[in-house]
Amino acid sequence: YKETLYFIAKCLTVSLEEKNRQEIEKQLKSTSIDWDAVVKLSTSHYVFPALYCNLQRANFLHYLPEELVAYMLHITDLNRERNKQIITQAKALNALLLAHNITPIFLKGTGNLLAGLYEDITERMVGDIDFIFSKEDYPKAIELLRNFGYSEVTVYDYYLPGDKHYRRLQKEHNIAAIEIHSELLGIEKYRKEFNYDYVAKDSKVINGVRVLSDANKLNLSIIANQINDYGYYHKTMALRNAFDVFVLSKKTTAMAAVNSLNKLSHPLNCFLAACYEVFDSVDSLAYHNTKKTAIYISDFNKQFTNPKAAQRRRKCIDIYFFIATRVNLLYKAILYREYRIWLYKRLTSKHWYKEKLVQLGFKK
pLDDT tens digit sequence for 173-205: 999 999 999 999 988 889 899 999 999 999 999
Q: Report which residue type is found at 110.
A: T
Q: What pLDDT score was predicted for residue 158?
A: 67
Q: What pLDDT score was predicted for residue 333?
A: 84
Q: For 65-90, what is the mean pLDDT?
A: 95
Q: For 219-239, what is the mean pLDDT?
A: 92
Q: Would you say residue 361 has pLDDT above 70? A: no
pLDDT tens digit sequence for 233-259: 999 899 999 999 999 999 999 999 999
Q: Report which residue type is found at 152.
A: E
pLDDT tens digit sequence for 202-215: 999 999 999 999 99
| SS3 readout for 179-231 | EEECCCCCCHHHCCCCCHHHHHCCCEEECCEEECCHHHHHHHHHHHHHCCCCH
- Closest alpha carbon to 123 in 89, 68, 62, 76: 76
pLDDT tens digit sequence for 161-176: 677 888 889 999 999 9
Q: Do β-strands 204-206 and 178-181 pair in parallel, antiparallel, or remain unpaired?
A: unpaired
Quick check: helix, strand or coil at residue 71? Answer: helix
Quick check: helix, strand or coil at residue 169? Answer: strand
Higher-scoring residue by pLDDT: 232, 32? 232
Q: What pLDDT score was predicted for residue 349?
A: 74
Q: What pLDDT score was predicted for residue 357?
A: 67
**Residues of the chain above pLDDT 90, percent:** 70
Q: Which residues are paired to 211 by β-bridges?
A: 106, 204
CA 233/CA 226 separation, integer angstroms: 8
CA 194/CA 210 separation, integer angstroms: 18
pTM above 0.85, yes or no: yes
Q: Would you say residue 363 has pLDDT above 80? A: no
